[in-house]
Chains A and B, each alone.
Chain A
Amino acid sequence: MSGDMLAVYRHDAHKFVRQSHAQASETYAGVRVNERVPFGADGDAAALSRPVGEPDTTVETHTNHRRLSLCTGTTQNLDGVNVDDAMHGLVTERDAERAHEQWLASDVAGWFNESVYYPYTSLKYHTLLVAALVRAYEEGSTFADLRLVVDPPESVVPHRTVFAGDEFALRITPESPKRPRIRLGDTPSRSWAGAWSRLPEHPLGTDDDAWAMVLDANLRRIQSWSTALQYVEDFERWSA
């Protein structure tokens, strides 16, 4: 099981180094990378964040794995950043739970997109979504069993937590904890706005905080899961 989870955190290593999947190396720094993820979870996670079918270029001037930010409209400036170092930690960690924690906390993973065709998506949150799906599927759950659960910020559940911010955390799980939660639906689709809009409680101060209301307003407009989760992270920093 731990091997499956480590494979998740290593499955898109080629996107950091601008290799296509077909040409991707099998190993990186002595560990196996770019392996197929079990249970079809990679495809299901992709369906949460991108249109299905043959991809189309959506931003003609942008055809690389650097993520475009919904907050700034541009990519992160990588001058002076050692991407190799950051990637090394994310990909070569041998303890699966620590790998999950590293991805949750990583800035660099969020500076890349999950598909060059959809440059506003996030490699960081795509990978965390794949992890939550693999975790659920390997236990025998189906997609239709899954829920989005709002947790306190310090509550990180290994492989299930898909977002951990300053104000709250989000987890995808087949369990029904006594926390605000909403079913994801029968099949994976770009259902972020629908799920977020229907949560029985929101973890934002929307009664009196104009910035929280603006964040909430935009979260109700976004369909892609990885784009939305990355937007919450970007917004927290950008408006701070």
Chain B
Amino acid sequence: MTWIQQVCWRLEMDYLGHPYYVSGNAIYHALKQVLPADQRTRIHASHGMFAPGQFGAFPEWHSLSGSRPALGATLPEVTTYDDLWLHRHPEQPWVLDSRPRDAVNTHDIRTQSGQPAFAHEMVFGRSAESRKTTWTTSWFVHAYLHADDPDVLPIEEEALDGLQFGGQRNYGYGTTRLKATQMVDLDALGYGRLRGADAYRLELVTPFVLRSDYPGTNDVDIPWWWTVETTHLRQREEEIVEGPETYHCGTVDHGQVVRYGGDRPVVTAKNAIRRVGAHSKYGFGEIRVCPIESE
């Protein structure tokens, strides 16, 4: 059995941190404050993806169907590999079209000390004439943990509750409350959709680190199982912050898609959930394998 622990936090205060996601590094270091030493060193944390706590409908690739209240604030049961990705794309494809989906799914921005902060909740439909029909939506952060030692998981709910992410934490910014957590056995999932396709594509859910200033990290090339030239891929600088030190990383930016050049898509898929490349412990190198449906 290969366990991961999914975690969903609710933002209780505005957030002044990494705008693409709560970095795995931030989640790891927040957990380090509350976990005993033997537990904390063995934990790996994914990046935390932002999702609005909105009504939603499961995408056609999910094993569940229909709509559900506050889908962005829940952890639905995971039975297939595809189910893992429900909340992990910035587009959040489950947000309904019957509401203003792009407004619901973009962060409201507030200026704090000259820096952009994300609002922890948003109000819609406010007008002078009809205040009754407004509604408020909160933001949630979805991440998952895994461990070198299977006995370390699950992390208890008390330890996951009340973590803070991002800057200005002394002022309460980035405070979260635990909304839900559940264990998922990767070996027990259905990988059927990944078998028998003619071709596959790889979606870079988080950046892949090519080089890092962090001591002891080697430069790497893109994996052999990506069918693409490095020069065709967008790159972006990232940072690993550890205490007073900031280490710069060169990454292949997330959101891009490459063709799969390997021949074991299920094995690749299982490995890439727990991420590949440098700093995978802190959320980098998360990749989704998708079959390319034939016409």
Contact = CB atoms under 8 A, between A and B. Distances in A.
B233 interface: yes
Contacts of A228: 102
A222 B106 contact: yes
B237 A207 contact: yes
Interface residues of A, number: 41
Contact of B103 (A68, A208, A213, A217): A68
Interface stretch (A20-28, A124-132, A197-205): A197-205
A227 B92 CA distance: 16
A217 B107 contact: yes
Interface string B216-232: 00000000000000001
A200 B232 contact: yes
A119 B101 CA distance: 11
Nearest to B96: A58
B98 A58 contact: yes
A1 to B, nearest CB: 34
Interface in A52-69: 56, 58-62, 68
A155 interface: no
A197 B207 CA distance: 12
A223 B102 CA distance: 7
B134 A61 contact: yes
A200 B100 CA distance: 29
Contacts of A70: 102-103, 106
Contact of B102 (A62, A210, A221, A239): A221
A181 to B, nearest CB: 11
A236 to B, nearest CB: 13
Contact of B234 (A58, A193, A199, A214): A199
A142 interface: no
Given A61-B129, A214-B19, A221 B100 contact: no
Interface string A210-233: 110110111011111001100100
Nearest to B92: A221
A227 B116 contact: no
Interface string B227-247: 000001110110000000000
Contacts of B257: 198
Interface stretch (B38-46, B119-127, B169-177, B278-286): B119-127
Nearest to B130: A61
A58 B236 CA distance: 36
A61 B91 contact: no
Nearest to A49: B102
Interface string B123-155: 111110110011000000000000000000000
Interface string B104-125: 0111110000011000001111
A58 B125 CA distance: 9
Interface string A27-53: 000000000000000000000000100
B256 interface: yes
A59 B100 CA distance: 7
Given A61-B127, A118-B100, A222-B102, 17 more contacts: A58-B97, A59-B124, A59-B125, A61-B129, A73-B103, A193-B90, A194-B91, A197-B255, A198-B255, A199-B234, A200-B232, A202-B236, A213-B18, A213-B19, A214-B19, A216-B20, A223-B102
